[in-house]
Chains A and B, each alone.
Chain A
Amino acid sequence: MADAAAATSTTDPLSAVLYQSLDVVQRTFNAIPGSAVLVRYVKSSHQNDPYRTILEVILIIFAIRTLLQSRTRAEKSGKNFIKLEEKEIDDLVDEWIPEPLVAPLDDTSRTELASVPVIAGASGPKPKLVNGKTVVNLASYNFAGLAGNESIKEKAMDTLRKYGLGSCGPPGFYGTLDVHVQLERDIASFLGTESAIIYSQGFSTICSVIPAFCKRGDIIVADRGVNFAIQKGIQISRSTVRWYDHNDPNSLEEVLESVAKEMKKKRLPLTRRFIVTEGIFQNDGAMVDLPKLIKLKLKHKYRLILDESFSFGVVGRTGRGLTELYNVPAAQIDILVGSMANGLCSAGGFCAGANVVVDHQRINGTSFVYSASMPALLAVSASAGIEMLVSTPSLLTTLHENVLAVRSVLDKLDCITIPSHPASAIIHIFIRSSATGSTLSPSYVPTFSGVSSSANAAHKPSNPTSVLSRDPEQFDIAAEERLLQDVVEEALAQGVLITRAKRLRGQEAVEPRPSIRLAITAGLTRKEVEKAAGVVKSALIKVLGKRRY
């Protein structure tokens, strides 16, 4: 090309200037080391295949155009965009009628709201309701009976006088108090993990922990019956999810194997893999077989995220949770989440694990980073709660005895089924299906006790990509809830406060079966608990019995 340019230099002064500057550009270009190679390459490729040059030029133009096009404008220029006149837009704006912000309350919701129990004054084993009635409380989470403990209150008041109430800042910005650090240490040494991190709300803990570790492309294998907070955490994480049948280790194993097969077949790269489940399930009180779970996770090289919100402070000799009950070192659980609000009658949640696990959350746990740290006096109360659990094992012994006492009263009842584990302090009561008299209900009675899949083994396994199992239980939500609410009110009339398990119908991944959820406490004596259980029993018989066919 250079020769051609030089040869055609002629008369026109304008073109002379042009050629001169072109010459300068060319010389500079040639001066760049390696430019000769490029020129030679272009020349020879053009010689061999002139069409290719055209194609490449088009490609370059296209690439530049794509790069220049901003992401946000893509929608406007997309073929789906309809160009409208201003007048037309004005008309469309005028015509548009939005739906109401929320659906107006119907009668069911109104009754539901009105039936929410309100305690006047302190909550505890025997609180007073706003109507002046003193009741025995089997509804609030006061498992170890720490609510109203005088020594904890004293400590809280001392803390108040040193720290004030609020921490007025997120942990990163001067919201980390020494009492928070102390509580983290207390939890870690109580459970036997390397370290722990505290969040200021129990619910938001696991919602934030899951997406901190599980990213797009990672694999989560989760139980179909996990609680709402876990469902939301999984949803946010955008990971690939595989579901296994509720509390069924065999199903878990099948799913783990199918995932391994799939990975091998598609030659997918190694990604993070997690098993997510609960220690004691919030939705029905069932308990996982932890040793089996750990065996599976080690075999298939998964990390375990275990939500112990309803087992921490509840099971085990001193309330350390499932790890104590099964005598498994807590270090075997990669990410252990619990709630200080449920287990220690304080507030907040925690995540315990190895240092790398905890430190990662200090910058990646969104609800840790972007929220104010918890008030100092609540952190101190939680620390004091742990101290009580350790120093007074009788608290937990009483709790376990009370749980047994309630179970021995209710287990014999044939109008209900109890899916909860015998050691669980939250006890869910389902209506035995025939008792509703609903035509929808088949004779199938769910049996959740431990490894129960032998009956299901004949069936084809459920599809792991869907959260719904192959043969979901059938129940009439509205009818069962009505019946159970009658039971709740009947018990309340007899002086025992119990509650239905409240759900977000329509927002849950799988609609949990309506149930009554008892929360047993160590704050009551065995006699009182037995009596209260007797009241619940007679209420159940009274309401469900007369509706039986």
Chain B
Amino acid sequence: MPSQPSSPMAFPPPGFSKRKSAIALPPQSTAVSYLTALQQADAKARSNSASSAATVSTLSTPALSTSSSMSSSSSSATTVLDDDPYDPKHDGDDGLSRPAVPPTSEQVFSTIHSEFGHCGNQTYRHTSKYSGGAFDPANSHEPPYYILLSTYISYIFLIVIGHMRDYFGKKLRSANYKHLMPSNGYAALNSDFDSFYTRRLKARMDDCFSRPVTGVPGRTIALLDRTSSDYNATFDYSGTRTRALNVSSYNYLGFAQARGGCADAVEESIKRYGISACGARLEGGSTDLHLQAEALVARFVGQEDALITSMGYATNSTTIPALASKGCLIISDEFNHASIRFGVRLSGASVRMFKHNDVQDLEALLREVISQGQPRTHRPWKKILLIVEGLYSMEGSLVNLPAIIELKRKYKFYLYVDEAHSIGAMGPHGRGVIDYFGVNPRDIDIMMGTFTKSFGASGGYISGSTALISRLRLCSHAGPYCESMTPSVLTQIVASMASIMGVSPPLPPASPLATPTRSLDVAIVEKSFIGPAPAAALPTWLSLPPQLRDGSEGKERLRRLAFNARYLSRALVKLGFITYGHDDSPIIPLLIFNPGKMCLFSRMMLERKTPIVVVVVAYPATPLVTSRVRFCLSAAHTKDDVDVLLKACDEIGDVLDLKHGDGERWTLEEVMRRATELVRMP
């Protein structure tokens, strides 16, 4: 797009029809026409909201922010603005609805700022790629002893007080403990021991968990305000909403959008396909769209074939039992996700764990298990399956894939990589850890991933050789028994994935009709598996706007995410915090340690002038002492957003005494000023 060199995210002004031309832009795409169009839309929206009396006490809020520009889709201006009545703090002084710096005449953004931030500065970009050299097994700073000690004392306090409350509560107010005590010949539904943690520790900070939200989980999110008058036993909803900066959703590439090319495609698919595919894959729930999406996924990850399951959790839990059984051994990283553990337990295979990301420990274990064979009988194992994750969601650490592939050559195990968080989010082309480390995808036997995160959809996939996937279609639990993926979700996957890959121009008309069969060409001819999606592989009715179709926006998103991830993790360290994980990971856990500080951190973040929603995690999701807050960055965030977050962390960190990291420290101003330098550092 030569007329708009500033940003591939730039977009023609309202009224431009995407279907007519992909290249020639009308010359009047100036700031004047842009603003005029916006003003008109604003006026229209005002009159609309004024006329509809049904809106909930929001008439005072002007419906449009300067930047809520339209996408070129068929939707009219007013529908975009329907989001805003939810938003009491609309004025934009919090920087959530409107960027601090208004766009220049060259920059016309296609996204809504509150969903996908406007960031035109091309220096705030980076490429996610492994720099080579020795693999750092993720930083592990130890906190001072007084922090550890006070953490343990906090837990002891909580436990002792909890047990006292239970003891006296059962005696004095037995009605509240009915479900925990045997009654009327029934045993207690939940044992009070099992639920102790939930009742006595988690309940104290329940206001920080499961906060209900509404609208798009994009760059910002609208919280439903709630208060509790009975210590979090119940919540009262005031009916108001708070818009907050969202650094919690797994929206790595910012595809959680209600507007734009992907959403338009999904709408079209609902018209064409309806809501559901009505059945399991093997029993009349397969549509042509499933096959097209699977072929595209296989091409995306560089494998022969792929299988899509309607739920990410079930992708692991229904596939692993089809791969291993009694007499097989599964070696699992100690921090693997619950779905993997569930699948492993269902499989009936033996399990051994190795220390998180520790290749030496893994090798020692491999030597032991192969030489010893099965327990008692010492028969050799039928096969050994190593299951690791690409990016660990609680640690932010990346798997040491090159070293594991090296081990695989020697020890002949099968390798299963769960790329739930890394697919789309890592690597220069968004192909996950494979791409990040530049390894050959065919070195991995089974590649699993989910669409919930980077693609803004849901469900998951398994990818591998044709023989493997065909077998799994028949043998995984999902084939005959799980509902198949719904067409709308499939469309979101296809559209977002195609816009990361870019679409190669359509073949000449002599090409065979786009009949969606399994013989769809998924073979990889070039040396590298990375390339654009062939136009023939997409549904014929799918029409993506030009900036999605040529892959420029996809690349832009990847580069923005890479910058944000690196900037935040390095900046936090410079500010003195203890973080876990690798610099390039979009998941950044910040260590808090004391359980009491956790809920304080979450509440203080929410109460700021620009509210921020964060995820705090503690035992049992993490080891007892290392409670943490977990930031998930997105391509939708701007550099300003990261600055806002850093400022909040800096201030709260001082109040809560969280800065215990070692190494050189910078001031907040210095960090913000030298952001690009910080990111470019090796």
Contacts and interface: CB of A to CB of B under 8 A. Distances in A.
Contacts of A153: 270-271, 274-275
A501 to B, nearest CB: 7
A102 B274 contact: no
Contact of A130 (B188, B370, B515): B515
A161 B79 contact: yes
23 contacts: A76-B368, A89-B370, A93-B367, A93-B410, A96-B412, A102-B322, A102-B471, A109-B471, A118-B286, A139-B284, A162-B83, A165-B488, A166-B217, A169-B452, A177-B214, A201-B482, A204-B482, A213-B190, A339-B483, A363-B202, A366-B313, A378-B486, A502-B480
Given A84-B371, A99-B382, A164 B257 contact: yes
A1 B576 CA distance: 57
Interface in A328-376: 339, 341-342, 345-347, 356-357, 360, 362-364, 366-367, 369-372, 374-375
Interface of A: 75-76, 80-82, 84, 88-89, 92-93, 96-105, 109-110, 112-113, 116-124, 130, 137, 139-142, 147-149, 152-153, 156-157, 160-169, 171-179, 181, 200-204, 207, 213, 215, 218, 227-229, 232, 235-236, 270-273, 301, 303, 339, 341-342, 345-347, 356-357, 360, 362-364, 366-367, 369-372, 374-375, 377-378, 381, 497, 499, 501-504, 507, 517, 519
A164 B615 CA distance: 21
Contact of B311 (A147, A204, A345): A204
A517 B457 contact: no
Contact of B287 (A121, A164, A215, A341): A121
**CB-CB nearest 9 A-B residue pairs:** A139-B284, A502-B480, A371-B313, A341-B483, A140-B278, A201-B311, A168-B249, A372-B452, A102-B471
A178 B410 CA distance: 52
B389 to A, nearest CB: 13
A166 B457 contact: yes
B39 interface: no
Nearest to B179: A356
Contacts of B414: 98, 101
Given A122-B272, A178-B212, A161 B258 contact: yes
B346 A166 contact: no
Contact of A178 (B214, B279, B475): B214
B562 interface: no
A121 B186 contact: no
Contact of B221 (A147, A174, A203, A347): A174
B309 to A, nearest CB: 8
Contacts, number: 387
Nearest to B634: A168
B492 A165 contact: yes
B497 interface: no
A517 B284 CA distance: 11
A380 to B, nearest CB: 10
A228 B216 contact: no
A174 B318 CA distance: 26
A101 B488 contact: no
B337 A152 contact: no
Contacts of A123: 273-274, 276-279, 284-285, 287
B360 to A, nearest CB: 15
B453 interface: yes
B580 interface: no
B371 A169 contact: no
A378 B375 CA distance: 47
B186 A201 contact: no
Interface string B253-278: 00111110011001100111111111
Contacts of A372: 250, 312, 450, 452, 458
B107 interface: no
Counting chain B residues whose Cβ lies within 8 A of the other chain, the interface size class is: 35 or more
B372 A82 contact: yes
Contacts of B366: 93
A539 to B, nearest CB: 17
Nearest to B367: A89
B457 A371 contact: no
A105 B470 CA distance: 8
Interface string B283-321: 111111011000000000000000000111110011001
Contacts of B382: 98-99
B160 interface: no
B281 interface: yes
A236 B185 CA distance: 26
Contacts of A156: 270, 275, 488
Nearest to B382: A99
A96 B456 contact: no
B212 A164 contact: no
A510 B488 CA distance: 36
Nearest to B339: A370
Given A166-B457, A381-B275, A504-B475, A120 B516 contact: yes
A84 B382 CA distance: 21
A166 B496 CA distance: 12
A92 B380 CA distance: 10
B370 A141 contact: no
A342 B280 CA distance: 10
B176 to A, nearest CB: 11
B338 interface: yes
Contacts of B372: 81-82
Interface string B606-629: 000000010100000000000000
Given A204-B311, A229-B477, 9 more contacts: A93-B370, A100-B383, A160-B266, A166-B255, A168-B453, A200-B313, A215-B194, A367-B342, A377-B488
Contact of B186 (A213, A303, A369): A303
A400 B190 CA distance: 40
A203 B314 contact: yes
Contact of B283 (A113, A162, A501): A501
B488 A375 contact: yes
Contacts of A503: 480
A273 B445 CA distance: 43
Interface string B313-345: 110011001110000000000000111001001
A360 B180 CA distance: 11
A201 B481 contact: no
Contacts of B475: 102, 504, 507
A137 B284 contact: yes
B270 A164 contact: no
B286 to A, nearest CB: 5
Contacts of A229: 477, 481
B568 to A, nearest CB: 18
Nearest to A271: B187
A201 B375 contact: no
B185 A301 contact: yes
Contact of B276 (A75, A88, A346, A362): A346
B198 A177 contact: no
